[in-house]
Amino acid sequence: MSARNGRVLLFVLVSFVLSVATPELYATDKTRLAPSRESIIHIVTQIQRADYEGDRPALKRLHDELTPIPEDNKLAARVLYWRGFALWRRAINGFNETPTPNDLDADLTQAVTDFKDSIARDPSFVEPKIGAGSSLGYLMFLSKKDPTRIQELFQQSSPLLKEAMAAAPDNPRLLWVLGPMRWSSPPERGGGQDKAFELYNKGLEAVRNQKRGVVDPLDPSWGEPELLMSLAWSNLNRTTPDLNAAEKDAQSALELVPYWHYVRDILMPQIRAAQAKAELPVAGSAYAQTQNQPNAKAAQDGPEAPSTQRKTSTPYSGDLSIFETPGRDERLQINRVMDMLGIEPGKNVADIGAGSGWFTVRAARRVTVSGTVYAVDINPEAIHSIDQRSKKERLRNIKTILSKPDDPEVPAVSVDAVLLLKTYHEVAHPVVLLRNLHASLKPGAKIGIIDRNGNGENHGVSKEVVVREAAQAGYELRDSQDFVKADGMDYFLIFTAKPE
């Protein structure tokens, strides 16, 4: 999955339509029994999870399972709403895929049909008007080269959203959909970024109050995670970004939905990348210029001084088989290392600087199918090699990540243990990388670093330097061992994040 410039989901596309409203009834299939209310609720729960997980095939399957349509109009309206919701969100998730799926138009068109049929069964039901208005907006975006169709779609969308605003102006899901309109509209038309924030915050207050009164699980109550996500995106992309607020809002969304693919795997990495960029010296700045001057050391002597400019080794890009030498398990005592890091069945592990996948496959066998190992590397050839290796060795619990040099891009709150095996000396900006790793850690996660003493550019780095840089990044040293090589040159350090 790709972020596709990081702004596809729910913002630019929706604002395209919002800044400018003879239903067809489903015939009841007389050959099938209508699903029970309990089974409908079960399917709806699955739809909402599949949406957050970005599972487009499941959304299509679950949409089709909500048949036949019940005869009771109120129940039918809810069933039809969730059918429309499944395809609406299936299309939204599709905009984050590369290449973009070619079925988005069909999904959105069917979603509009489902939503309109829901309205026909219960004209007082506001939720399908919101969903239809948004779906029509996405269709307008897909039709941006066809002015005639855009106008036709707008004539359908505008009345639906106006009706929803008149009937339920404080509906949090409506406020979430309307937020991008305020974001992109000029101040003279009542818009602006501040107005968008007002809508999102108003929606948050409303949805939190709404939860206390919800009694029917088929009546939509979603919105709090989505509004937090919108606030995170907005804080990241506002004229003057507030990256701390963006991170806080994204984390709050993940606390509610830890498995949300978009926030965990797309938005959070974008926030981390922006934070890392903000922390690095800008070319031409006074700090950057001093780094090439003989007397620059004095500027870095303080306890919080950045250590990202020290000497580092060139990342290895040669033959990966060099990491597969016989006897390496015994020399590094890798099973003892895994024991000390708490790597056991069911745990999730990140192998940063995975190379050939030597440690990756050993960790994958240790955690079993109930755990996951993220193989992280900046070298595309290494990632390809590990993908092939995991298939050959039938290790389906390995997920590869082609990362950035200063951001491992491991999913948020996902790992119990991390190992950098003979990698740390190659990291150009180690403090930034370790700070970016924070968001990926579960509470109590252990970070192991195995390296050899050296001067940074000779494929080794002093243990004291690692400890100092880890402290700057917000970690505490928990253990220090030298058993990983008999010559005493190698060390094994274990860190945990400092309590906040």
Task: Determine the Cα–Cα distance for residues 80 and 116; give it in Å rounded to an integer.
Answer: 9
Q: b/e per residue, 190-218, with b = 16+ CB within 10 A?
A: ebbbebbbebbebbbebbeebeeeeeeeb
pLDDT, tens digit, 9 for 90 and up, residues 25-38: 344 444 566 778 99
159: which 2 tokens?
Answer: 């009345």
Mean pLDDT of 258-271: 89
User: Which amino acid is it at 42?
Assistant: H
Residue 253 predicted with pLDDT over 60: yes
197: which 2 tokens?
Answer: 């924030």
Angle at 125 between CA 120 and CA 126, to 5 degrees: 115
Give the long-range contacts of residues 248-252, CB within 8 A, separation 24 or more: 250/412, 251/412, 251/439, 252/228
Mean pLDDT of 475-492: 82
Residue 297 predicted with pLDDT over 60: no
Q: What was the pLDDT predicted at 190?
A: 85
Q: What is the mean pLDDT of the chain?
A: 84
User: In the chain, pLDDT over 70 holds for what percent of residues?
Assistant: 83
User: In the chain, pLDDT over 90 holds for what percent of residues?
Assistant: 63
Residue 16 predicted with pLDDT over 80: no
Task: Determine the Cα–Cα distance for residues 434 and 24; give it in Å rounded to an integer.
Answer: 56
Residue 11 predicted with pLDDT over 60: no
Residue 306 predicted with pLDDT over 60: no
Q: In the CATH hierarchy, which fold is given to the domain comprising 4-274?
A: 1.25.40
- In the chain, CATH 3.40.50.150 sits at 320-497
Angle at 8 between CA 6 and CA 10, to 5 degrees: 120
Q: What was the pLDDT predicted at 4?
A: 44
Lowest mean pLDDT among 149-158, 206-215, 415-424: 206-215
pLDDT band at 455 (very low <50, low <70, confident <90, very high): confident
352, 360, 398, 393: which is closest to 376 by C-alpha?
Answer: 352
- For residue 318, CA distances in Å to 315, 355, 422 come to 9, 10, 15
Task: Determine the Cα–Cα distance for residues 62 and 65; give it in Å rounded to an integer.
Answer: 5
Can you tell me whether residue 85 is helix, strand or coil? helix
Mean pLDDT of 219-227: 95
Can you tell me whether residue 187 is helix, strand or coil? helix
- In the chain, CATH 1.25.40.10 sits at 4-274
Q: What is the DSSP string of 295-349?
A: TGGGGG-STT---TTS--PPPP-S-GGGGG-TTHHHHHTHHHHHHHTT--TT-EE
422, 420, 423, 365: which is closest to 390 by C-alpha?
Answer: 365
pLDDT, tens digit, 9 for 90 and up, residues 107-118: 999 999 999 999
Mean pLDDT of 142-164: 93
Higher pLDDT among residues 44 and 381, named by residue: 44
Residue 58 predicted with pLDDT over 90: yes
pLDDT band at 282 (very low <50, low <70, confident <90, very high): very low
Q: What was the pLDDT predicted at 25?
A: 35
pLDDT band at 402 (very low <50, low <70, confident <90, very high): very high
Q: What was the pLDDT predicted at 488?
A: 61
Mean pLDDT of 348-356: 95
Residue 211 predicted with pLDDT over 60: no
Mean pLDDT of 221-242: 94
Model-level pTM? Answer: 0.55
Lowest mean pLDDT among 62-66, 316-320, 420-424, 429-433: 316-320
Residue 98 predicted with pLDDT over 80: no
**Level-2 CATH architecture, domain 320-497:** 3-Layer(aba) Sandwich (3.40)
Lowest mean pLDDT among 26-30, 84-88, 444-448: 26-30
pLDDT band at 329 (very low <50, low <70, confident <90, very high): confident
- For residue 436, CA distances in Å to 35, 162, 496 come to 47, 43, 14
457, 456, 463: which is closest to 489 by C-alpha?
Answer: 463
Mean pLDDT of 424-429: 89
Question: To 10 degrees, the CA torsion angle through 154, 159, 165, 171?
Answer: -70
